[in-house]
């Protein structure tokens, strides 16, 4: 049976070989990629790193050093986001604080954020999950007014914009990821972008002290990238997803990842795919729009509303159902129909033990994030989605009693 992978980016043989050739033959390909990403974000500088997690740790350490106030140790993160975010906050020696989200947008609840006690806060981190921009203009205003820094986490949102401004370009420092489920990918990799001279000088110092990614690791990643480019196809993905030990789509807590520079050969792939960013994002957006229309016709499906003036990149299409047991039924039915629907992160961050034990009592209940964790479903939007996918999703969901 053909099975549509939950997320991913098609890499044609031409893109793969062009990426490999650029990565191996062009010594300045990493500088060219960094330049392109800085220009894209509207920031002045860009640094490439081994993962988005590594980039986040470096960003937070640089923010702490640039602010230079030992009392400012708290970092506000949305109560529903990737576990890598609080893991990086803790890894940077800082304290995560949670802000509940608005389930209709998945953005931090603006009123809750406004009411925060900012006296010990170093910065605010956004989420922009599934390529949907958060209310970045409001968050930026709040951060400025409170005198704290803002890290615009665009790990899932390269290619999205709000009010004509690229996601990742809001606030003081932005972050992109090139991990496997992202809009463009080299299976691993991350980037920071920033403009402020003091912050940039600290990022530069921390980045230049990082070790290189070992060559053997890069070689392994290139082999995996070749396999990924073949196996993401629906006709082969059904076989891949049944292989034991791959743990595809599983969310686990991980805080001992390497913090290294990005490997130049991988920059060749990302640079090749970067040239397709506009068309990839448009394709994902078109797929998400047709899927949204199909979901609107089924009672009980709640779509996430992107902010007015935004252009999402939709690395996936999220929606909410009424409760956890219905969610499990929806995912099981869609999977049986060969559609890679997933439940995304299984818990709000207040319910992740490694985060909970660091939190003050006031952050241990986040009702909206907890409801989202129990009721979210995400659908694939990548270019391997067939044109009859919306109709199939609609039929499958309508058949659930």
Q: Which is nearer to ligand PLP, 51 or 375 (CB)?
A: 51
**What is the chain's Cα-based Rg?**
20
Q: Least distance to ligand PLP from the beta carbon of 13, Å? A: 25
Q: Which is nearer to ligand PLP, 267 or 397 (CB)?
A: 267
Measured distance CA(1)–CA(337) in Å, rounded: 9
Q: Which residue is nearest to ligand PLP (CB)?
A: 52
Measured distance CA(168)–CA(157) in Å, rounded: 8
Measured distance CA(64)–CA(18) in Å, rounded: 40
Q: Least distance to ligand PLP from the beta carbon of 396, Å? A: 27
Q: Least distance to ligand PLP from the beta carbon of 261, Å? A: 14
Q: Which is nearer to ligand PLP, 213 or 396 (CB)?
A: 213
Structure-derived torsion over alpha carbons of residues 348, 351, 357, 363, reported in degrees to the nearest 10? 60
Give the Å distances, CA to CA, from 29 to 154, 171, 269, 271: 22, 27, 10, 8
Q: Least distance to ligand PLP from the beta carbon of 53, Å? A: 4
Non-local (6+) Cβ contacts of 261 within 8 A are: 48, 49, 50, 207, 210, 211, 212, 213
What are the DSSP E strand ranges found in 206-276? none
Token digits for 237?
């993905």
Question: Residue 324: exposed, middle, or buried by beta-carbon count in 10 A (0-12, 13-18, 19+)?
Answer: middle
Q: Which is nearer to ligand PLP, 352 or 389 (CB)?
A: 352
Q: Least distance to ligand PLP from the beta carbon of 14, Å? A: 25
Q: Least distance to ligand PLP from the beta carbon of 212, Å? A: 18
Q: Which is nearer to ligand PLP, 40 or 91 (CB)?
A: 91
Binding residues vs ligand PLP (CB under 6 A): 51-53, 56, 81-82, 84-85, 127, 153, 155-156, 177, 179, 190
DSSP 8-state class, residue 16: H
Give the Å distances, CA to CA, from 162 to 115, 275, 358: 24, 21, 33
> Residue 398's CB: how many other CB atoms inside 10 A?
11
Using an 8 Å Cβ cutoff, are 181 and 155 in contact? no
Q: Least distance to ligand PLP from the beta carbon of 156, Å? A: 5
Q: Least distance to ligand PLP from the beta carbon of 41, Å? A: 15
Q: Which is nearer to ligand PLP, 52 or 174 (CB)?
A: 52
Residue 174 β-bridge partners? 152, 193
Q: Which is nearer to ligand PLP, 184 or 311 (CB)?
A: 184
Q: Which is nearer to ligand PLP, 90 or 389 (CB)?
A: 90
């Amino acid at each position: 049976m053909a099975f549509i992978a939950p997320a991913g980016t098609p890499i044609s043989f031409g893109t793969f070989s062009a990426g490999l050739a650029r990565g191996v033959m062009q010594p300045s390909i990493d500088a060219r990629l960094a330049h392109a990403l800085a220009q894209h974000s509207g920031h002045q500088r860009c640094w490439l790193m081994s993962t988005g997690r590594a980039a986040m740790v470096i960003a937070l350490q640089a923010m702490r050093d640039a602010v230079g106030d030992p009392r400012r140790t708290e970092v506000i993160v949305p109560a529903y986001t990737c576990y890598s975010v609080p893991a990086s906050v803790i890894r940077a020696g800082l304290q995560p604080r949670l802000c509940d989200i608005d389930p209709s947008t998945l953005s931090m609840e603006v009123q809750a954020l406004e009411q925060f006690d900012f006296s010990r806060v170093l910065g605010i981190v956004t989420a922009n999950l599934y390529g949907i921009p958060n209310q970045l203009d409001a968050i930026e205003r709040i951060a400025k007014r409170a005198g704290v820094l803002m890290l615009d986490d665009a790990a899932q949102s390269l290619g999205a914009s709000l009010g004509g401004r690229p996601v990742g370009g809001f606030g003081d420092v932005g972050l992109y990821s090139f991990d496997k489920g992202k809009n463009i990918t080299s299976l691993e990799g991350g980037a920071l972008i920033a403009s402020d001279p003091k912050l940039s000088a600290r990022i530069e110092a921390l980045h230049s002290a990082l070790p290189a990614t070992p060559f053997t690791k890069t070689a392994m990643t290139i082999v995996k990238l070749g396999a990924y480019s073949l196996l993401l196809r629906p006709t082969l993905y059904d076989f891949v997803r049944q292989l034991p030990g791959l743990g595809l789509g599983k969310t686990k807590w991980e805080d001992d990842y390497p913090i290294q520079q990005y490997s130049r050969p991988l920059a060749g792939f990302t640079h090749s795919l970067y040239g397709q960013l506009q068309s990839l994002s448009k394709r994902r957006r078109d797929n998400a729009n047709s899927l949204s229309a199909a979901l609107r016709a089924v009672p009980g499906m709640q779509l996430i509303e992107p902010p007015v003036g935004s252009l999402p990149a939709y690395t996936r299409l999220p929606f909410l159902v009424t409760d956890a047991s219905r969610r499990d039924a929806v995912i099981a039915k869609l999977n049986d129909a060969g559609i890679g629907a997933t439940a995304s992160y299984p818990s709000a961050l207040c319910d992740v033990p490694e985060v909970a034990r660091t939190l003050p009592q006031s952050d241990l209940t986040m009702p909206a994030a907890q409801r989202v964790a129990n009721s979210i479903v995400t659908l694939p939007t990548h270019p391997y989605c067939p044109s009859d996918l919306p109709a199939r999703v609609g039929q499958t969901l309508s058949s659930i009693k």
